[in-house]
Structure 1
Amino acid sequence: MGFPPSSFYFFISLLMGIFISISSSSWFGAWTGLELNMMSFIPLITIQMNSYLSESALKYFLIQALGSTFFIMSSCMFLSFTQVSSSLLLVSLLLKLGSAPFHFWFPQVMSGLTWLQVMILMTLQKIAPMFLISYISSTFSNLNKIIYLSTILSAIMGALGGLNMMNLRKMMAFSSINHMSWMLISVVISDSLWVIYFIFYSIISSSIVILFNMFQTFTLSDFMKSSQISMPIHSLLMSLNFLSLGGLPPFTGFIPKWMLTQLLINNNLLVPLIFLLSSALITLYFYIRISIFLFFFTKPSSATNMKLNMPLYFLPGSLLFFNFLMLFLPLIFIFI
């Protein structure tokens, strides 16, 4: 299910809220942008009279309103209680972001959304809080310990929460929480590295979500019931996209994790690195589980019964090609 044409204005105001937050010179302006972003995303959720969409919109509104309350309260206390207010400001942004230990709302909201709404929540809705966290980290270096704690907890919760998960939207939610741990730790090290990781993550996860949306699959059992997913090329593409999202070399998803691992070693952040690599192995396990599922349950004989749908092949083509750029990296060393 796509968005109606009337939702275009809400999408534009959602982007405006992001730009206002990241370009504001005051915390009040950043709060205004966050509020505009939240109030623009809620109409995009409730595009249909559906109990699941209404429940997700209500949960999202309550959590974001709570985060905004902490945000504006900490901003008012900033001149009198700088240390306490800066810590509360960081906590409010972690709550809005859905990072552990404030991750409880993220899978619940994701489970009631459509795939296109899931893609917005996993990508665009993380931009403004992440930029504000990077501003706080560069200004108040003593808050890095809170970021380290949230990084470790996000890595653990994101990895363990996705195990034995049959709901694909909840699995992508816990995967997003796990990838959030990599982005949070990169905020402390470099202002530009988390942007690079976020771009790689957004493109790879969006390509998976686009395929899920085209096939309208929401659980693992839907793969067996769908006639479209039985196409061998679709099963192969989705399997390799999951492996790329898990950071398995030589796929593109391995590039930002490789860069961040090297920087963590150079900065002697070995304890967070151990948790990050361990959680990456666990998440790769349930990615491989889905890939094996697709390989074994593909029915090549049904490919002849499927009608040719040109947008089905060309719409996500550019996103899918991005996941395989790393495969051509060894060719650079051959020609040098």
Structure 2
Amino acid sequence: MALSSPQILFFSTLLLGTMLSVSSTSWFGAWVGLELNLLSFIPIISSKNNQYSSEAALKYFLIQALGSSVIILSASFMLTATGPASLLLATSLLLKSGAAPFHFWFPSVMEGLQWPQAILLMTIQKIAPMSLLSYLTLNHVFPVFWAAIMLSALVGAVGGLNQTLLRKIMAYSSINHMAWMMSAILISETSWLVYFTIYCIISSSIALLFFYQEAFHVSHLLNHTNHSSPLKLLTFMSLLSLGGLPPFTGFIPKWILIQELISSGLFLILAILLMSALITLFYYLRISLTAMTISTPKTKWNSKSKGLSYLAPSILSLNVLGLLVPSILMLAV
């Protein structure tokens, strides 16, 4: 996975655009950062090795350009009508981040990407829009937030049920986690940062495992022999951690957020989030139990597994860190 000089350049400008959006003191500076981020990501996802990358790049460009045009439109209303301008701004940022009901582009773009580019789309590309969402005055955009949280939870949960393509499963999982992250924004920026950081670590570890196994379909995960059962166990422990199953690491931010939502009295949002989390856990468990109980002849596509000898211990330590948290809390008490 060696990076060429142009890729390093575009990745640097992508990070620069994200930092500019997050740290800007004006909406114009934030818009400039979003545009720099967009123009840097397009060359990164365009790949000669993937025939669908050009289609994904075009879809991504059109959607992000639409979101940027809505931001400019909202700026024209900002001086005269603050409420409608804030609603338009929130809508454009939700479109850019891929939250429901503006999620229609996210799974199809994910389907055309390689795993390293998919990691960027699921993690770094969400930083700027979600940070800008947290800067909005919640009094004006609370109805939009409320609707986006409930729809993202339901779409992310139900949409992944009938999927067999791993990139689409990860896309719908990301949409579901967007609901949790937007709920965290309603509580505090600290809650959002904790949830987003742990989500990025876990989803990146799963995507790296899929990348080194060259797995793009559920059947690829099932086609392991008994010789690779530790690898299967590592993959599905990571999936269950992403689903928030106790006592893995992915449960920690959900545990914190559940307590905060109860303290804030947001019981309806919490009920929908918990219901959607159970549905996502269902399709993670369906993949995991099937793969752990079925052994099929070894296939030839698994050519990068040797690189996992260095990657596996770190991913294992990240995803089972949650097992140690009760012990640490007991010692602290």
TM-score normalized by the length of structure 1: 0.93
SS of aligned partner of 2:189: coil
Q: 2:279 aligns with which of 270, 277, 282?
A: 282
User: 1:307 offset after TM fit, Å?
Assistant: 10
Percent identity reads 50
User: 1:329 offset after TM fit, Å?
Assistant: 2.4
Q: 1:206 aligns with which of 204, 212, 228?
A: 204
User: Hey, what's the Cα distance between the residues in 2 that align with 1:104 and 1:333?
Assistant: 42
Gaps of 5+ in 2: none
Q: 1:232 aligns with which of 229, 249, 255?
A: 229
1:143 aligns with 2:145: no
One-letter identity of the residue aligned with 2:200: S
User: 1:87 offset after TM fit, Å?
Assistant: 0.6
Could you tell which deviates more after superposition, 150-159 or 319-328? 319-328
Q: 1:323 aligns with which of 313, 319, 323?
A: 319
1:194 aligns with 2:192: yes
Q: For residue 245 of structure 2, what is the aligned residue in structure 1?
A: 248
Structure 2 contact 234–312 (Cα < 8 Å) conserved: no
Q: For residue 267 of structure 1, what is the aligned residue in structure 2?
A: 264
Structure 1 contact 3–47 (Cα < 8 Å) conserved: no
Q: For residue 81 of structure 1, what is the aligned residue in structure 2?
A: 81
* Alignment map for 1:15-94 (pairs within 5 Å): 15-48=15-48, 50-94=50-94
SS of aligned partner of 1:192: helix
Deviations 1:229-251 (A, max 9, x none): 95011001011111111101011
User: 1:146 offset after TM fit, Å?
Assistant: 1.1
User: 1:293 offset after TM fit, Å?
Assistant: 2.1
Deviations 1:265-286 (A, max 9, x none): 1111011111000000000000
Deviations 1:297-322 (A, max 9, x none): 247x97xxx99976321135323311
User: 1:333 offset after TM fit, Å?
Assistant: 5.5
Q: For residue 176 of structure 1, what is the aligned residue in structure 2?
A: 174
One-letter identity of the residue aligned with 1:157: V
Structure 1 contact 231–298 (Cα < 8 Å) conserved: no
Q: For residue 213 of structure 2, what is the aligned residue in structure 1?
A: 215
Q: 1:37 to 1:334 in 2, by over 3 A?
A: closer
User: 1:295 offset after TM fit, Å?
Assistant: 0.7
Q: For residue 108 of structure 1, what is the aligned residue in structure 2?
A: 108
Q: 1:117 to 1:79 in 2, by over 3 A?
A: same
User: Hey, what's the Cα distance between the residues in 1 that align with 2:35 and 2:201?
Assistant: 26
Number of corresponding residues: 329
User: Hey, what's the Cα distance between the residues in 2 that align with 1:307 and 1:143?
Assistant: 49
Structure 2 contact 10–44 (Cα < 8 Å) conserved: yes
Q: 1:239 to 1:298 in 2, by over 3 A?
A: farther
Q: For residue 132 of structure 2, what is the aligned residue in structure 1?
A: 132
1:156 aligns with 2:150: no
CA RMSD of aligned residues (A): 2.1
Deviations 1:88-139 (A, max 9, x none): 0000000001000000000010011000111000000000001000001xx3
User: 1:221 offset after TM fit, Å?
Assistant: 1.4
